[in-house]
Structures are given as structure tokens and as C-alpha cells.
Amino acid sequence: MNTFEETVELAVPLRTAFELWTSYSSSPRPVTVRRQDELIAWPGGRVTFQYVDTHTTRLALRADADTTPAGILLRFKEFAESAPVATPAARQYWRVERA
């Protein structure tokens, strides 16, 4: 398996980052492991959420390059830090279509 790793810090609280990822993620399904505000894992990848301070969260992604597009965390950062985030257009903004 060809894996890659990405890490990014978001200027949003931990709970917000976790909820946004779970609500709007285009990550592969089914999710096999989910620990609230800590980890989401699926076959071929996982993203972890780490508290930095009350307004900052660190995300670390380790994933299969064949099923998860590189650069997804940077797109998610732009999405999570922008407003409004609840519109369909905003949700679609950071999704990456896989061939």
C-alpha cells in the first residue's frame, strides 16, 4: 500500500474540527473506528485530532494514496476556517473527486 502523511493546524476548536470532518468528509466509507474528538479511521486511512489550545486543533492524516487525495487536509483547513460552513456550496468546496 502506498501511504502518505499530512499534518495541519486549524484555527478552530477541537470539537468543531471533529464535527466538520464527520459531517462533511468525503473520506472513504465505511468508517470502522470513531472515537469522539480523537480519531476517525477507515480501511486505508485515519485522521487524528489533537487539542492544541481552545481555538486550535492539529489534524494528522495517514492514508492510502490510491483512495485518499493528497492535499486534502489543506483543503479542509481552508473549508473549516471559512464561514459560512453549513451551505452545500461550502461543503462541496473542499471535497475532492476521485477518478
Burial of 88 per CB tally in 10 Å (0-12, 13-18, 19+): exposed
Q: Residue 15 corresponds to which cell in the numbers above?
A: 470539537
The pLDDT score that the predictor gives to residue 95 is 56
Tens-digit pLDDT profile for the chain (99 aa)?
799 999 999 999 999 899 888 876 555 556 778 999 999 998 889 999 999 999 999 999 999 998 888 888 998 998 888 856 544 555 555 555 544
Q: Residue 83 corresponds to which cell in the numbers above?
A: 464561514
The pLDDT score that the predictor gives to residue 38 is 95
Query: What domains can be seen in the chain, in order of their start residue?
Result: 3-94 (3.30.530.20)
The pLDDT score that the predictor gives to residue 70 is 83
The pLDDT score that the predictor gives to residue 84 is 60
